[in-house]
Amino acid sequence: MHIKAAVVRESGGPFLIEDLELEAPQAGEVLVRIVACGICHTDLIIRDQYYPTPLPIVLGHEGAGVVEAVGPGVKSVRPGDHVLMSFAYCGNCPSCLDGAPSYCWHHMEMNFSGMRYSGKAWDVPAPLLRRLPSGKPERINGAFFNQSALATHAIATEQNVVVVAPDLDLKTLAPLGCGFQTGAGAILNTLRPEVGSSLVILGAGNVGLAALMAAVVARCSPIIVIDQVPARLELATSLGATHVIDASRVDALDAVMKLCPGGVRYALETTGNPGVLQGAFEMLQTRGVCGLIGGSRIGTKASFDMTHLLFGRTVRGILQGDSKPKKFLPQLIELFRQGLFPVDRLVRFYPLEDIEHAIADMKSGQVIKPVLLMER
């Protein structure tokens, strides 16, 4: 079928809106008419080739929409279902069998190879083609997080879609599939802080603010948020941060140690910056845990004082907030319905054609979570 999609053709290059063809869903696959797709930092690091994902590609991994057709063998999803899309996992490796699908041993191939997952192998071409003026097809990479949802339609799989109630606003909830579940899950699934635990969140982007909302639900205290953009810090205060620190003006480590002599129980690093990770580790109290969420270029190194580590401290990488999306997204939706996870305060909508504008607003800190709409 004919679709429109945002294609990245060169490292660091623009998202170009192009007319493509999408193949029909195969066994286990689902064709989704995309209503909305959030932009996540990971789309930008792949545009910039931090990982060797092949170009040209259609990115986008926070898609939400309505199922139009299903391939052979699909049982739990039907045409007309409203779905949020999340990450891909194999279901059979030691991590998946252990109930930890975000640590699927095939996470990189399944989400970042640009290829489609067949159930046995992931070297099956993506279902995206462009007809060149000569009439010849150009194969475009896709299947990004089993979706490539920066498009009017996408092929997902039965496994990475979550069916949701039709009264929900898909535009607002699209980013639950990655950024919001990543931040909230780091608190509610991974760290599981006791009531009254001290917490520092480093970076007040969509992941950091989702973690903040979850930390308020978990009754952490104090909740200290560090960023360099005053507007983000104001938002953090209005969402329940007890303290905010502008790291462009003061030494953040000093400021945290003044607020919490002896250090904090938990620190969440959401920026992917090695200096920020080192600071997060240094501000831990003995037996404190530092969660690392931010993506960085492959090969990026950080260093730690081994004696500081020896005193019971932990640095823990966290992928996708340790979520099982079919279980965790409904929980987040329940919190949203109760007004306890007000993601509607973080999103701003743009037409797909304005994707570059949306990315610029996210980068400058004016917008926390841009969400692209496929129909005006």
CB of 34 to ligand CXF, least distance (A): 18
Q: Classify the phi-psi angles of 249: left when phi > 0, otherwise alpha if psi is within -120 to 50, otherwise beta.
A: alpha
Determine if 42 is a binding residue for Zn ion (CB under 5 A): yes
Interface mask toward ligand CXF for 308-347; x: CB under 6 A: -----------xx---------------------------
Q: Is 95 or 147 the residue whose CB approaches Zn ion more closely? A: 147
Q: Restricting to residues 161-200, name those near Zn ion by CB under 5 A.
A: 178
| Of the residues 22, 31, 37, 40, which one makes contact with ligand CXF according to CB under 6 A | 40
Q: DSSP letters along 116-181, please?
A: B--SS-S-BPPSEEEE-TTS-EEEEB--GGGT--SBSEEEEETTTEEEE-TTS-HHHHGGGGTHHH
Q: Restricting to residues 159-198, name those near ligand CXF by CB under 6 A.
A: 178
CB of 295 to ligand CXF, least distance (A): 3
Determine if 86 is a binding residue for ligand CXF (CB under 6 A): no
Structure tokens of 86?
């999340």
Q: DSSP letters along 299-355, please?
A: T------HHHHHTT-EEEE-SGGG--HHHHHHHHHHHHHTTSS-GGGTEEEEEGGGH
295 binds, among ligand CXF, Zn ion, none (CB under 5 to 8 A by kind): ligand CXF
Buried b (16+ CB within 10 A) or exposed e, 153-180: bbbbbbbbbbbbeeebebbbbbbbbbbb
Determine if 111 is a binding residue for Zn ion (CB under 5 A): no
Interface mask toward Zn ion for 301-340; x: CB under 5 A: ----------------------------------------
Structure tokens of 142?
């896709």
CB of 40 to ligand CXF, least distance (A): 5
Contact positions toward Zn ion, by CB under 5 A?
40, 42, 178
